[in-house]
Amino acid sequence: MSRSLHGSIIMALVALVLLPWTAKGQTQRVTDPNSNLWISHWGDQRIHDRWSLHTEIHWRRADMGVNWQQLLIRPAVNFHLNDHVLFTQGYSYYFNYQYGDHPIRYQNWEHHLYQQVQLTQPLGRIKFQHRFRMEERFIAQLIPSEENPADGAFDHYAYQSRFRYRVWLTIPLGKHEKVEPGVLSANFYDEVFLNFGDSQRLDYIQQNRISAMLGYQVNKPFSVLLGFLYQTIERPQAANGADLLELNSTIHLALVYNLDLRKQELPAAH
């Protein structure tokens, strides 16, 4: 993939991210800044030349770790077409907590199915990774409980589709040509979330994440990433009828563990 094509993709993404905030600039809006702490694990456990199992869990806390924000568990199955193309079919479970100055009315949960294509392309010392994900979301809708109206009672699931695109850049630091054990790396990514309603038309950009992280590969399977993530979340009419824009400054620690469980060929006997 050429430098000009990478540049075009990134510029288009920036324009796509900024467009809805500019278009809605004249509407009534409330902002809600928060300071969060995320601790994550993800990894791909290789069981075959073509297949691997994806493991992922996110422990997300509001108020710099004091209160819950969200719990996310995401298992999946990967198909490795080659070293640069990865297909994934997976499931996600979310539990959403109340946090911030404009919390959701009731804690709720979501079940997602998702399909994903991930493209990895080296460009000199820089590794570009493009991830395209389609999610089918089943979101629990709660109503006031008959016993206690302050508590929520499950009523039904609302369906919504969501498309996500992420571009991730990894650069080995120092004179190293690639990331390997003992090497530090700089990691930058931006991810945009596009919601679709029941009509299957584009509604709005629901969320964006931009992040810078310092990585260190401890050994071949284990890496650590630590950095800052800035998350914006659009919540229509969530602040007494006005649109709410969450501005979440987040410290993010990620523990990445990729095991190779394939049977190793024994050396030939002499």
pLDDT tens, position by position, 42-98: 999 999 999 999 999 999 999 999 999 999 999 999 999 999 999 999 999 999 999
Cα torsion 7, 231, 246, 145: sign: positive
C-alpha dist (Å) from residue 34 to 77, 230, 263: 34, 10, 47
Determine the straight-line distance between the first and last CA of the chain, rounded to whole angstroms.
45
pLDDT at 9: 54
Quick: pLDDT tens for 130-161: 999 999 999 999 999 888 877 899 999 999 99
Quick: pLDDT tens for 92-121: 999 999 999 999 999 999 999 999 999 999
Quick: pLDDT tens for 242-268: 889 999 999 999 999 999 999 876 555
C-alpha torsion angle, residues 245, 204, 72, 141 (rounded to 10): 90
High-pLDDT (> 70) share of the chain, %: 85
CATH numbers and ranges of domains, the chain: 3-257 (2.40.160)
